[in-house]
Every structure is written in C-alpha cells, then in structure tokens.
Chains A and B, each alone.
Chain A
Amino acid sequence: MAEARTLRLNIGPHHSAAIGPFRVSVETDGEVVLTARPDVGYLHRGIEKIAERMTWTGFMPYTDRIDYLASIHCNLVYALAVESLSEIKAPERAQYIRVIAGELNRIASHLMSIGTLAHHLGAESALLYALRDREKVNNLFEILCGARLTYNYVRIGGVFADVTEGFIEKAYEFIDYLVPKLKEYNDLLSNNQIFVGRLAEVGVVSASEAVSCGVTGPIVRGSGLKYDVRKVFPYCVYHKLEFDVPVGKGEAGKTGDAFDRHMVRIREIEQSASLIKQALDDLPAGDYQTTLPRIFKAPQGEAYASVESPRGTLSVYISSQGEKHPFRVKFRTPSFSVLNLFPAILKDVPISDVTTILGSFDIMASEVDR
C-alpha cells in the first residue's frame, strides 16, 4: 500500500464553522484543501412528505422550520402559491405588512450572517454586536406576532394579526437606529485591513459559474449579476416600492469574492431599511386577512411561487387534487444549490479559507435538508 500523503478532515457536523449540523469532508495536503465533498441530511425532516398528510392551512407552521432565520419568507412563499392556486387575493394592507415583515426578517438574517462571518474570522465581538441589533428585530416581531424565531405569521389570504400603532412607532425608531449603526459595522469590519485581507480574492465565484450551479441571492449578486426576484418577478407590492439591487463590484480584488458578498449583505440591509420605511409610509387602511372556509380545499391544479429570501430564490411548487391536503409540495431552497459550488470553489485553498468561504456563502443546514 502506498503511503498516505493526504489527510481527510471532516469539517462538521459538529464544528463551530458550520451553521447547524452540516459536514464538509475535505481532503488536504498539509494546509491545502485538495477536494471537498458536502455531506448533508443530518437535519432532514421530510417536510415535503409531512405536507402530504397535513391540511393546507395546518402545514404553515412547518414552513417556519425550513429556514428558521428567515421563516417569514418560507411562510410567504407557501401562502403565495396557495393563494395563486385557489385565486384568493390577500388585501392590500396584508401585502404591505408582508413586505414589512419580510424585510425585517431579511435584516435579521443578514445581521446574523455578517456576525457569524466575522466570528469565523476571529472577530468575536462583531457577532455580539450583530446579535444586539438582531435582538431589536426580534422584539419587533414579538409585538407583531408574539414569536421571536419561528413566526408562523403569514397566512393563506393575509397575515395572522394586524400591525399595531406601537409596532409602527417602534419600527420607525428601529430604522432610524439601524442605518447609522451600519457605519459601525463598516468601521469594525468592512474597513478593517485584516478583515479585507482575509476576504479579498477568497472564494471567487464567477457569474456564469453561479448561474450554471443554480446559485442565487447575495452570492450571485456578489458576482456582479443583478438578479433579484423582487425586481425581476415582483410579488406582493414590490413593484410599487423603490429600491436598488446592490451588486458586487470587486472593491477588494476580484468581483465575486467573499468581500463582495459581505458588502452586498451590508448594502441590502440599507435597502431593506428603506423598503420598510416606504411600506410603513404607504401602509393602506383596510382588512389584513380574508376569511377562509373552515375546511379549506385548494382547487385541483398546480401552482408555483418564488420569493427572494435572504439566501436567494426560495420557490415552492404545489399540486392539488382538490382535497383537504396537498398532493405534492416541493420547496426549492437557495442553500441547497450552493452545494454545487463546493467542488470548484473549495479547491486549492488553505483550510483557514474553508471556514471563510462557508461563512460567506451563508449556508443554512436546515434549509439544505428540509
């Protein structure tokens, strides 16, 4: 037998660099990674199979668990698909509230992502600062729906509860607080030479590679492609609101490196804040939900809906036979497609960069496995 010259390392499933149980099996020659293979399924709960045994409305809490850092988006995409199939139109006010909740959730998720990336790079305080600001979003959600993590807030035909005066006031306060705070993140991280040095020209994803691999969200935008479902295929009331889609410009080195993805997330927080402000300003009066029949049955047929979740395009396909429960539900989750990038990106990089790249991809194990 030839002498083994390579070392097989398992990054995960229980490793501080992995968000949730998620394993990358890498083969290294000293410090340099030769091959990397993702191994997932530790968090597989068979949500699509569960859906076939649940009622249409009863399945909603399960969608929370697909991505617990952005559960509003998972709720929303399912609600949009069922609404499209059964021709229910959510009231205008509900659409605005959905935008507000969705953008708040995007801010929370991006803060978490920025914080964990900094934590992977050893800047441990930045994670705590990000959690401090995320805490304020959690408080807002607590006013909105009583939950702080798995919201189960968006319902088929509207939302679960109306916004209160207190929430609107607190939300304005939060936006005024957050936007100046972003400068703090830039001072601590984005303008820090060590931080830039760690991220620049690391994990470069070209736009064509990203598109071919089916990667969406901040990763593909970081590669310079202006693809955002909110702009391209608008849902809710995004076509009435003004916002910009930030893309990576290669500020630190090459376009599509980890630093571009980081900057895209920071700038998206800014855009989300402006979206929340616009939606709060324009919030129309009226009803916030439509009444569904006591036993809801979606008509026979198929429907498809996509939203832009913080991690990329989140879509759902539903198929109905006209019964109380779905015939088939299939979620397309953004993190799942990111696995395609691994063999090409995690090659000839030092081990230290593996955690950087994983952090900048912002992979959510529960979303990969569903």
Chain B
Amino acid sequence: METREFFEALEKNFGKAIHPIEDQNGGKFISIGVERDSLKKVLEFCAADSSLRFDFLENMIGIDAGQELQIIYRLVSLSLVHTLNLKVSVDRHSPKMPSAHETWKAAIYYELEIAEMLGISFQGHPEPRKLLLPEDWQGFPLRKDYTFPEEYHSIEHRRAPLRKEHTRP
C-alpha cells in the first residue's frame, strides 16, 4: 500500500486529527502528521487494523524543529511489507507525549533516549530514567538551543583562548 491509501484509511477513522501528507522532496520521505491528543489511538489503530498491520516500530526520531519539537514514528509492517512515517508535533515548553510502549515494546528504549536528549516526557512510561547520559546531566543535548557545559564534576571543557604567538598579526 502507498502512503496515500494509508492517509485515506486514517482520515476515515480519525478525521481532523490527521494532517495532510507532507512531501518535501518528491516522494523520498513522506510523512503524515497526527494530532498529539489522538496519537495513542492512531498508533493502536495502525498496529491492529488488518489492512495496515504495522507490527514493527522501526524507529522513533525526535527532532527539534525550532518552534516545536517533533517525533517521527517509523512504522514497518513485516507481514504486508510497507512502511509509514507518522509525524507528531509537541509544544517546546511543556512537551508531553503518550507512551507507545503498550503497542510496541520497542518504544520503551526509543522513548528513554528521546526523553533525555530532547526533554520530552512520555506519559505512562514504565521506567523513566537516564539511559545514555549520566543521572545528573543538565539540559537536553539534541535541542538546538543547548549550550555545552563548561564544567562537569571538575572536568573542564573550555577552549583555551588563543595565545599571542598563535594569532596572526
């Protein structure tokens, strides 16, 4: 099935919660936007519907798109061999998302990574914790406004100012 057909199937069931297809570069990467509030139902529908049957969550991609944060769910159906990208936007200042771990267990670790890297909190996540970063790490590194810490537990990370002899006259 093509993304156009997925869009029709989703729009029939969820109406306005589905945004029109985003196709920026000639069919290379097509994604369907979904409202955050009905996301959980849309994901459950995608996994359960007999014509979609997305049994495999291949990837979850968190993006800092400037005004808002985005998450792309990359769904693959192993049985019917097709793929779908769902794009969800979430407010930058109070980013909250429903957790998808009940639909696909794979979401548990993707969500942990997105949570610590972009600061999106997932509602109903079974075991929220820092995964790749230390427990006491401040800030969300993959946000565009992230400033690199200059000091962490007395490990200094500062570029030394150029000395006179190294600067050109």
Q: Which A residues form the contact surface with B (CB < 8 A)? A: 40-41, 44, 46, 48-49, 84-85, 209, 211-215, 225, 227, 232-233, 299-304, 306, 313, 315, 317, 319, 328, 330, 332, 336-337, 339-340, 369-370
Contact = CB atoms under 8 A, between A and B. Distances in A.
Contacts of B83: 233
A49 B25 contact: no
A212 B59 contact: no
A41 B104 contact: no
B131 A213 contact: no
Interface of B: 24-25, 28-29, 31, 55-59, 61-64, 72, 74, 78, 81, 83, 85, 104-106, 108-110, 113, 117, 130-134, 141-142
A369 B25 CA distance: 31
28 contacts: A44-B132, A44-B133, A48-B142, A49-B141, A85-B25, A85-B28, A209-B105, A211-B56, A214-B57, A214-B106, A214-B110, A301-B25, A303-B29, A306-B58, A313-B58, A315-B74, A317-B61, A317-B72, A319-B63, A328-B63, A330-B62, A330-B63, A332-B58, A332-B74, A336-B109, A336-B113, A340-B109, A369-B132
A301 B29 contact: yes
B63 to A, nearest CB: 5
A302 B29 CA distance: 6
Main secondary structure of the interface of A (DSSP, over half): mixed
Contact of B109 (A300, A303, A337): A337
B30 to A, nearest CB: 9
A49 B28 contact: no
Given A227-B78, A302-B25, A41 B55 contact: no
Contacts of A46: 141
A47 B105 CA distance: 25
A301 B24 contact: yes
B13 to A, nearest CB: 23
A332 B62 CA distance: 12
A40 B108 CA distance: 14
Contacts, number: 93
A303 B25 contact: yes
* Shortest beta-carbon contacts, A-B, top 4: A214-B106, A301-B25, A41-B132, A332-B59
Nearest to A49: B141
B74 A49 contact: no
A337 B61 CA distance: 14
Given A302-B28, A303-B29, A212 B55 contact: yes
B106 A337 contact: yes
B103 to A, nearest CB: 9
B29 A49 contact: no
Given A40-B132, A306-B58, A340 B141 contact: no
A306 to B, nearest CB: 7
Contacts of A48: 117, 142
Contacts of A300: 24-25
Given A212-B55, A303-B25, A339-B109, 17 more contacts: A40-B132, A41-B132, A44-B133, A209-B105, A211-B56, A213-B106, A214-B58, A301-B25, A302-B24, A303-B28, A313-B58, A317-B59, A317-B74, A332-B74, A340-B106, A340-B108, A370-B132
B125 to A, nearest CB: 13
B118 to A, nearest CB: 11
